[in-house]
């Protein structure tokens, strides 16, 4: 009988085995024209699920274990990698659903790759980390691993031309990584994103009813920013999302065009539920 309490304790703790402290990821700030673009490496901002490979397992940025099929990580290096699980442009929802599925969908995972953009365990500058990544991934020769293409751009005019071409082709925007930047957890001035619009995250606190053609459905989300400011997001929602809205308490990403005189986002538009914390 003494074994029964131990068994019950084990069963209660079992789900926690798939969780850990959130990995110490570097986060991007917003690019504002002014710095010397030629000192940055520029890559496409991929619309995927942020993931950290710790040398043995994959984790979301919230510290949840990702469980791909056994063969997906075959031949991956023992060094930690930072990247995005990506299934192609405009396929975030598909990639997110595959990552969260349990047991894993092998056919779905075959359409994903970890697009690697950094080597967090390396103590050097981004120039040095990028050179090391190229060697490391070439030696690994793993089909599910790919280095995000990085390029140099001469000036701000060329940068915005490249942004326009990327968005026209279905991309989301660009990332700029300063050549001398060191890897450190938290928001970094050496890692910046550039998009045709701003985006941010807010917490859903209420569902507001719709009117007219949306009668009986969700009209808007009432959300709250981290600073406590509240506002509505009514556009950008698909009919399916109006029928089954993002739950109260969930974190959503929205896009906007600058701020009003009151400091609230102008033309806030729903993009997605940020569900990469809960596979």
Catalytic residues: 45
Q: How far is CA 74 from CA 23, 88, 129, in A?
A: 22, 21, 23
Q: Which of 138, 17, 148 is nearest to 83 (CA)?
A: 148
In angstroms, the CA 88 to CA 164 distance is 18
The position carrying tokens 């942020």 is 50
Torsion of CA 42, 47, 50, 55, to 10 degrees: -70
56, 121, 187, 218, 250 from 82: Cα distances, Å: 13, 10, 15, 37, 25
Of the candidates 202, 188, 212, 206, the residue with the CA atom closest to the CA atom of residue 247: 206
Joined together, the tokens standing for residue 144 give 């599910």
CA distance 214 to 232: 16
Q: Are 203 and 224 in contact (CB under 8 A)?
A: yes
Contact predicate 200/68, CB 8 Å: no
């Amino acid at each position: 009988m003494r074994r029964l309490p131990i068994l019950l304790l084990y069963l209660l703790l079992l789900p926690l085995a798939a969780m850990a402290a959130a990995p110490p990821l570097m986060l991007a700030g917003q690019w504002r024209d002014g710095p010397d673009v030629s000192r940055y490496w520029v890559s496409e901002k991929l619309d995927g699920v942020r993931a950290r490979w710790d040398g043995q397992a994959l984790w979301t940025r919230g510290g949840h274990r990702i469980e791909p099929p056994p063969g997906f990580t075959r031949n991956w290096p023992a060094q930690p990698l930072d990247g995005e699980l990506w299934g192609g442009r405009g396929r975030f929802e598909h990639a997110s659903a595959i990552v969260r599925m349990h047991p894993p969908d092998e056919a779905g995972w075959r359409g994903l790759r970890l697009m690697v953009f950094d080597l967090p365990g390396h103590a050097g500058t981004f120039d040095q980390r990028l050179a090391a990544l190229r060697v490391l991934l070439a030696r690994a020769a793993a089909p599910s691993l790919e280095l995000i293409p990085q390029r140099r751009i001469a000036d701000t005019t060329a940068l915005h031309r490249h942004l326009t071409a990327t968005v026209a082709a279905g991309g989301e925007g660009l990332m700029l990584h300063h050549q001398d930047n060191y890897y450190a957890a938290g928001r970094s001035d050496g890692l910046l994103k550039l998009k045709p619009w701003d985006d941010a995250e807010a917490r859903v606190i209420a569902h507001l009813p719709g009117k007219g053609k949306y009668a009986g459905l969700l009209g808007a989300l009432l959300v709250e920013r981290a600073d406590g400011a509240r506002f509505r997001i009514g556009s950008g929602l698909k009919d399916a999302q109006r029928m089954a809205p993002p739950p109260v308490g969930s974190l959503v990403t929205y896009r906007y065009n600058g701020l009003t005189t009151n400091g609230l986002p102008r033309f806030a538009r729903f993009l997605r539920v940020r569900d990469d914390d809960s596979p």
